[in-house]
């Protein structure tokens, strides 16, 4: 698959076929993912591929514990926004229909334990080198040695026709997840990636903010506008 197509069609899949993803597919994806950038080439990322029905069912219970309150709050917020705007349906982040997006995500959550595979991505935090711990805010730099590898993993699965959903919701239950899966104490859980064959195929187009709203040159707000004449390049 051409890289541009893979990047533009790798969505958060909410509906999966029941088919298993073979070990060979995961092997190929991790073989490619391991070349993602990481500080000092310390290679702090490990993967635990969970297929066991009982373990997935337990992880689903933890997922729903945190998802349901968020879902209810989002529904109430959507209703309030709709009331303020005088419309029956509110628009979420300017493009997606909030009701459908939330319902799709709720379906994903309700069937979390039935998804073909839940990949727990682990990180050795001692092998990361966060440089922002003294800034008086949430530290995020350490993730730079972890999440590029995860992105490579998801792209490598997309290249093989496997859809994914990246989620960090169960990280809040890290001690229980580590005990369930026998993850050593020194390893943290960085995220979870649901993987499987998409029930409805892949989207032909994802909606995102334009480059002009995302990038500035030299000064914040001085939009990058150098769109190439060859629109095929984008």
Mean pLDDT across the stretch 137-158?
97
Confidence (pLDDT) at 93: 45
Q: Please give the Cα distance from 63 to 192 (Å, whole number).
A: 11
Confidence (pLDDT) at 65: 97
Q: What is the pLDDT of residues 61-104, one digit of tens each?
A: 999 999 999 999 988 887 777 677 665 554 444 434 677 888 99
Q: What is the pLDDT of residues 173-228, one digit of tens each?
A: 999 999 999 999 999 999 999 999 999 999 998 889 999 999 999 999 999 999 88
Q: What is the pLDDT of residues 24-68, one digit of tens each?
A: 999 999 999 999 999 899 999 999 999 999 999 999 999 999 999
Mean pLDDT across the stretch 128-135?
95
Q: Please give the Cα distance from 87 to 139 (Å, whole number).
A: 39
Q: What is the pLDDT of residues 100-121, one digit of tens each?
A: 888 999 999 999 999 999 999 9
In the chain, where are the structural domains located? 3-233
Pick the CATH number of 3-233 from 3.40.1190.10, 3.40.109.10, 3.40.50.620, 3.10.310.40: 3.40.109.10
Nearest-CA neighbor of 35 among 127, 120, 122, 155? 155
Q: What is the 3-state secondary structure (H, E, C) of the chain?
A: CCHHHHHHHCCECCCECCCCCCHHHHHHHHHHHCCCCCHHHCCCEEEEEECCHHHHHHHHHHHHHHHHHHHHHHHHHHHHHHHHHCCCCCEECCCEEHHHHHHHHHHHHHCHHHCCEEEEEEEEHHHCCCCCCCCCCCCCHHHHHCHHHHHHHHHHHHHCCCEEEEECHHHHHHHHHHHHHCCCCCEEEEEEEEEECECCCCCCCCCCCCHHHHCECCCCCCECCCCCCCHHHC
Confidence (pLDDT) at 83: 72
Confidence (pLDDT) at 6: 95
Q: Please give the Cα distance from 55 to 115 (Å, whole number).
A: 12
User: End-to-end CA distance of the chain, in Å?
Assistant: 16
Tokens representing 21? 């993803």
pLDDT over 80 (residue 172) = yes
Q: What is the pLDDT of residues 10-28, one digit of tens each?
A: 999 999 999 999 999 999 9
* Cα dihedral sign, 67-73-74-75: positive
pLDDT over 60 (residue 170) = yes
Cβ pair 152, 35 in contact under 8 A: yes
Q: Please give the Cα distance from 37 to 147 (Å, whole number).
A: 9
Confidence (pLDDT) at 99: 79
Q: Please give the Cα distance from 170 to 10 (Å, whole number).
A: 22
């Amino acid at each position: 698959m051409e890289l541009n197509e893979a990047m533009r069609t790798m969505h958060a899949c909410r509906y999966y076929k029941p088919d298993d993803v073979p070990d060979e597919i995961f092997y190929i994806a991790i073989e490619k993912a391991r070349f993602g950038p990481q500080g000092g080439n310390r290679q702090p990322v490990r993967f635990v591929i969970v297929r066991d029905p009982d373990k997935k069912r337990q992880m689903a219970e933890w997922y729903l514990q945190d998802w349901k309150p968020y879902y209810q709050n989002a529904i109430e917020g959507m209703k309030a926004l709709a009331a303020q705007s005088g419309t029956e349906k509110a628009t979420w982040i300017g493009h997606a229909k909030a009701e459908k997006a939330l319902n799709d995500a709720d379906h994903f959550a309700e069937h979390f334990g039935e998804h073909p595979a839940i990949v727990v991505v682990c990180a050795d935090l001692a092998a990361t080198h966060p440089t922002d711990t003294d800034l008086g805010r949430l530290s995020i730099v350490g993730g730079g040695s972890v999440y590029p590898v995860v992105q490579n993993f998801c792209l490598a699965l997309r290249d093989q026709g496997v859809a994914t959903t990246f989620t960090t919701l169960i990280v809040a239950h890290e001690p229980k997840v580590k005990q369930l899966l026998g993850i050593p104490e020194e390893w943290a859980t960085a995220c979870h990636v649901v993987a499987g064959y998409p029930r409805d195929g892949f989207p032909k187009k994802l909606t995102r903010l334009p480059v002009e709203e995302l990038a500035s040159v030299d000064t914040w707000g001085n939009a990058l506008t150098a769109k190439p004449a060859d629109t095929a390049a984008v």
